[in-house]
Structure 1
Amino acid sequence: MIYVDPAILERVNKWLTPFFDSETQHTIKEMIAHDPEGLEDSFYKNLAFGTGGMRGVMGVGDNRINKYTLGKNTQGLSNYLKKQFANQEIKVAIAYDCRHNSKSLARVVANVFSANGIKVYLFSDLRPTPELSFAVKHLNCQCGIVLTASHNPPEYNGYKVYWEDGGQLVPPQDGEIISEINGLEYTDVNFEENSDLIEYIDEEVDTAFAEASLKNGSFNTSQKAKDNLKIVFTSLHGTSITMIPRVLEDAGYKNVTVVNAQATPDGDFPTVVSPNPEEPEALEMALEIAKNQDADIVIGTDPDCDRLGIAVKNNEGNLEILNGNQAMIIKTHFLLEQHKKQGSLTNTDFIATTIVSTPMMQQIASDYNIDCKIGLTGFKWIAKMVKDNPSQYFVGGGEESFGFMVGDFVRDKDAVTATLLACEIAAQKKEIGSSVYQYLYELYDKYGYYQEKLVSLVKKGKKGAEEISKIMKKMREAPFFEIAGSKVTIIEDYLNGTSLHTETKEVSSLDIPRSNVLIYYTEDGSKIAARPSGTEPKIKFYLSVCASNPTQKKHLESRIQEILSHLNIS
């Protein structure tokens, strides 16, 4: 006889009542009979909001993405909206990506909002996530939803919530909404649509978004330079195919080769192991085409078009993929350079990045006499910086995980405008006989040579979550005071909100929201961060080492390996 935990069974039995459809009930009964482990993982907890909203495997149960969990979220969000915007017409915008069930789940969400008397603007087909952020403000909505699981594997989907400023939810608002949702039963969800309140949106928003992207991402590049730049672009079967080729064409870039084998949106992502531009394998097809065409730059975006990978020619003429930190510092420095040339840069302007990204961003900000604000991982924190500092102009900024944001017309990472910006940099540098790669090393010569590495350990399911928890607990209870021969000088614990100076034993407070992150700083300038992912079943280790110039590259590569070995990470 198969044993099922009584607590799990109590949750399961709620899903076997007549409110739930027969297909759902049949699937659950099959799991009870044949897959108790899968049943436990599907029901042992409620799927929670993380750094990128709610994201998880599709299927039946409280810990899965399905019409009932998203319906309950949307009902709770509807209740919250009506309290926050009493006696107002409430409007929401909804977009979705190429993933399986995204279109049907988006319609479920639209139906629940409309059933609660809320006006819905629904994209009739897939669109990039940054366009949804833009649409929220453009259409004067109080809220926005995008159905996406970003770069996760095909079995995933997700639900990101945006507020009226175009940024994602942040505390304490997300907690208030979660409390509203947790106070509901599934039977409280109103799925009966009011079609009069659902309006499809398309070209008008597309055009406005494209024009805003051109305005923010273009910097007086000559047409000759644009014509001389050879670009290879891949959407990796995602939504960027709907917008990036259009924006590049509108900007005057005609020498663009689209990777046709990856241009059709497809939730199975058949030509890649992972549709994540952080993974070099994802760009292999584009790189091969670029090599054959002697292209100058390769761009690849993730399924919802908020991250982009970039490859450029190195000094030997071979294409080399830039890591997220390298791409970020190039784009940030170029933006500051352009604003300074235009006379529009002031010392009240700011750039932004995250606690696990390269410290080189602070060096650049200091050189331009502006502020570099640093927040937790996730662009919702950068959007919050923009919202909280209305008297300061946000120039741009990003994070190591291949995201970048140009200006504040979109309040999330935006691969559309960042792609245009990358092409502007490449075209201008080529025109003067230089390159993006040479530009990068000019910055290293000026600010110091920083080398980073990310190691992610995949830990799936309930057991994986427990393993991740044990790793973080051990690192807190038995902290390192020396790492690979270099003394630890500072330990920052963002869960406790403390910074320990190891020599003096002085403990100070961190002026940043709490998060499950540990960062070690060592005497030789190394930085090591540990963080469970908020969107994937992973624990991530971020390493940054530095030297005075790029000639010490081999030494830094060895240093990274020594640190990984000391931490027993591979």
Structure 2
Amino acid sequence: MIYIDPKILERLNKWLTPTFDQETQHTIKEMIAHDPEGLEDSFYKNLEFGTGGMRGVMGVGDNRINKYTLGKNTQGISNYLKKQFPNTQTKVAIAYDCRHNSKELARVVAEVFSANGIKVFLFSELRATPELSFAVKHLNCQCGIVLTASHNPPEYNGYKVYWEDGGQLVPPQDEEIISEINSLQYSDINFKADASNISIIDTEVDEAFAKASVLNGSFQTSQKAKDNLKIVFTSLHGTSITMIPKVLEMAGYKNVQIVADQAIPDGDFPTVASPNPEEPAALKMALELAEKTAADIVIGTDPDCDRLGVAVRSHEGKMVILSGNQAMAVMTYFLLEQWQKKNKLNGKQFVASTIVSTPLIQKIAEKFGVQYMEGLTGFKWIAKMVKDHPELEFVGGGEESFGYMVGDFVRDKDAVTATLLACEIAAQQKTAGGSVYAYLQKIYEENGHYKEHLISIVKKGKKGAEEISEIMKNLRNDPFQKIGGSKVVRIEDYSNNKGYNLIEGTSEALNIPLSNVLIYYTEDGSKIAARPSGTEPKIKFYVSVTSEDEAQLDTKIKTIISDLNMG
């Protein structure tokens, strides 16, 4: 007889009631008989909101993405919207990506909203995530939903929630909505759609978004420079194919080669092991096409088109992939340079990044005399900065994980406008006799040499979550005294929001929301951050080193990795 944990048995028995359809009940019974391990992982906890909303493996159960878990979320949000916007015809925009079941799940979400008397604008086909953020404000909605799991593996899907400013949920809305959702039973979900409340939207929002992207991402580049730039672009089977070629064409870039075998949206992502532009292998086909066509720049985006990978020619003419930190530094420096040329910098502007990203962004901000703000991982925090500081102009911001946001017309990382920005930089630098790579080296020469390295350790399922928890516990309870041969001088623990000065033996409060992040700072300027991912079954270690001598950077990173025994 198969043993099932009583707590899990209690959970799954609820799914064997008439509230759930026959197919769901049959699947659970099959798992009881043949897949007890999968059953445990499907039911041992409720799927939770993380830094990017809710993501998970598709399937039956409380810990899976399905019509019931998403339906319950949507019912909770519907109830919350009615409380927050009484006597108002509330409106929600819904988009979805190329993943399996995204279209069907988007329809379910639309129907639950409609059943609760909420007006729904549902995109007719797949769309890029930044377009959804734009649509929320463009259509005067109170909320937005996009069905996506970003760059996660094919078995995943997800549900990102946006608020009326176009940014993702932040405190207090997130906790209040979670509380609303947790107060519900699955039987409380209203699945009875009211078709009169659902409007299908199409090209009218596309056109407005494309025009806004060109307006925000263009910087007086000559047509000759644009014609002279050779671009290779890959959508990695994702949604960006619906918008990036269009925006580049509108902006005047005609010399664009698209990786044909990756241009068709496909939730299996058949040509890549991972559709993540952070992984060099994801850009392999694009880099091969770049060599054939002698391209100057390669750009690849993730499935929902909020992240982008950029490769450019080195001094030796070899294609090199910029890290997320390097691309962010180049984009931030260029934007500030453009603002400076137009005499638009007066101290009332700011740029933004995250606590695990390169310290170089702060250095660049100081050089141009603009304010620098830093938040937790996730662009929802950058969007919150924009919202919380209406007295300041937001220039741009990014994070190490290949995301960038140009201006505030979109309140999330936006690979559409960032792609155009990257091409503007490349075109202007090439026309001036330089290159993006040389531009990056100039930034280093002015502000100091920095190099970052990311280590991601995958720990799947319940056991993996426990292992990640144990790693973080050990890093807190038995902290390193020395890393990479350099003394640890400061530790910041965002789980209790305290910074500890180990030299003076003092501590102070950190003015950032609580998060499971721990950062070590060493005497020689190195920075090592540990953070469990909010959207993937991983623990991530972010290593940043600096030196006046560029040749020392790799040695420093290798020594740190060896000392920390992180592989």
TM-score by length of 1: 0.99
CA distance in structure 2 between the aligned counterparts of 1:119 and 1:144, rounded to whole angstroms: 11
Partner of 1:381: 381
Q: Is the 8 A contact 1:301 1:307 kept in 2?
A: yes
Aligned pairs (5 A) from 1:50-89: 50-89=50-89
- Counterpart in 2 of 1:10? 10
Instruction: Encode CA deviations 1:239-278: one digit per residue, 9 max, x unaligned.
Output: 0000000000000000000100000000000000000000
Which residue matches 1:371? 371
Question: What is the CA–CA distance in structure 2 between the aligned matches of 1:503 and 1:90, rounded to whole Å?
Answer: 54
Helix, strand or coil at the partner of 2:544: strand
Q: Deviations over 1:63-88 (max 9, x none)?
A: 00000000000000000000000000
Aligned-partner SS, 1:508:
strand
Q: Counterparts in 2 of 1:347-366, with a 5 A limit?
A: 347-366=347-366
Distance 2:19 2:514 in 1: 38
Match of 2:124 in 1: 124
Question: 1:139-154, aligned counterparts within 5 Å?
Answer: 139-154=139-154
Are 1:460 and 2:457 an aligned pair? no
CA distance in 2, matches of 1:306, 1:537: 20
SS state at 1:390 partner = coil
**Which residue of the partner structure matches residue 99 of structure 2?**
99
- Residue by residue, what CA displacement relative to the aligned partner does 1:348-374 show, whole Å, maximum 9, x if unpaired? 100000000000011011111111100
CA distance in 1, matches of 2:406, 2:327: 13
State the shift of 1:543 in Å.
0.2
Shift, 1:553, TM fit: 3.2
- 1:357–1:399 CA contact under 8 A, matched in 2: yes
Question: 1:483 Cα deviation (Å)?
Answer: 1.0
Cα deviation code 1:368-399 (max 9, x no counterpart): 11111000000000000000000100000100
Corresponding residue for residue 198 of structure 1:
198
Structure 1 partner of 2:228: 228
Cα drift, residue 146 of structure 1: 0.2
CA distance in 1, matches of 2:554, 2:229: 32
Contact 1:481–1:502 under 8 Å retained in 2: no
Matched residue SS, 2:386: helix
Distance 2:397 2:552 in 1: 29
Asked if the contact 1:349–1:371 (Cα under 8 Å) also holds between the matched residues in 2, the reply is yes
Match in the other structure for 2:552: 555
SS of 1:28's equivalent? helix
Task: List per-residue Cα deviations over 1:505-531 (Å, max 9, x = no partner).
Answer: 101100110000000000000000000
Q: Is the 8 A contact 1:136 1:143 kept in 2?
A: yes
Cα displacement (A) at 1:329: 0.5
In 1: Cα distance, 2:478 partner to 2:425 partner: 46
Alignment of 1:142-541 (within 5 A): 142-541=142-541
Aligned counterparts of 1:448 and 1:269: Cα–Cα separation in 2: 39
Matched, 1:39 2:39: yes
Which letter does structure 2 place at the counterpart of 1:331?
A: M
C-alpha distance in 1, partners of 2:69/2:345? 46
**Aligned-residue offset at 1:3:** 0.3
The AA in structure 2 aligned to 1:209 is F
Distance 2:383 2:342 in 1: 25
Deviation at 1:152, TM superposition (A): 0.2
Deviation at 1:209, TM superposition (A): 0.3
Superposed CA offset, 1:406-458 (max 9, x none)? 00000000000000000000000000100000000000000000000000000
Q: Distance in 2 between matches of 1:94 and 1:346?
A: 39
Q: Distance in 1 between matches of 2:417 and 2:301?
A: 12
**Residue identity in the other structure for 1:311:** A
Offset of 1:19 from its aligned partner?
A: 1.5
Do 1:459 and 1:465's aligned partners in 2 also have CA atoms closer than 8 Å?
Answer: yes
Amino acid at match of 2:297: I
1:37 CA drift (Å) = 1.0
- Three-state SS of the structure 2 residue aligned to 1:553 is coil
Deviation at 1:554, TM superposition (A): 3.3
Instruction: Tell me the distance in 2 between the aligned counterparts of 1:381 and 1:191.
Output: 33
Alpha-carbon distance in 2 for matches of 1:173, 1:208: 28
Cα separation, 1, equivalents of 2:72 and 2:406: 34
What per-residue deviation string (whole Å, max 9, x for no partner) do you get for residues 121-169 of structure 1? 0001000000000000000000000000000000000000000000000
Partners of 1:104 and 1:382 in 2: how far apart? 31
Q: How far has the Cα of 1:34 moved from its partner? A: 1.1
Q: What is the rounded CA distance, in whole Å, between the counterparts of 1:363 and 1:18 in structure 2?
A: 60
The answer for unaligned runs of 5 or more in structure 2 is none
| Contact preservation (8 Å) 1:124, 1:200 | yes
SS at match of 2:550: helix
The 3-state SS of whatever aligns with 1:121 is strand
SS in 2 for 1:457: strand
Distance in 2 (alpha carbons) for counterparts of 1:293 and 1:318: 13
Counterpart CA distance in 2 for 1:484 and 1:433 is: 39
Amino acid at match of 1:513: P
Q: Which amino acid aligns with 1:289?
A: L
- Give the counterpart letter for 2:557 in structure 1: I
Alignment length, in residue pairs? Answer: 567
**Distance across 2 between alignment mates of 1:496 and 1:479:** 15
Q: Does the aligned pair in 2 maintain the 1:330–1:439 contact within 8 Å?
A: yes
CA distance in 2, matches of 1:483, 1:422: 36
Per-residue CA deviation, residues 468-518 of structure 1 (Å, 9 max, x unaligned), is 000000001001111121100100000010000001110110011000000
Matches of 1:28 and 1:345 in 2, distance apart? Answer: 60
2:564 aligned with 1:567, yes or no? yes
- CA apart distance, 1:32: 0.6
Counterparts of 2:513 and 2:91, CA distance in 1: 30
Task: Tell me which amino acid in the other structure corresponds to 2:559.
Answer: E
Tell me the amino acid that sits aligned with residue 152 of structure 1: N
What is the RMSD computed on CA atoms of the aligned residues? 0.5
Gaps of 5+ in 1: none
Aligned to 2:551, what secondary structure does the other structure show?
helix
What percent of counterpart residues are identical?
Answer: 74
Letter in 1 for 2:295: A
Q: Retained in 2: the 8 A contact 1:460–1:537?
A: yes
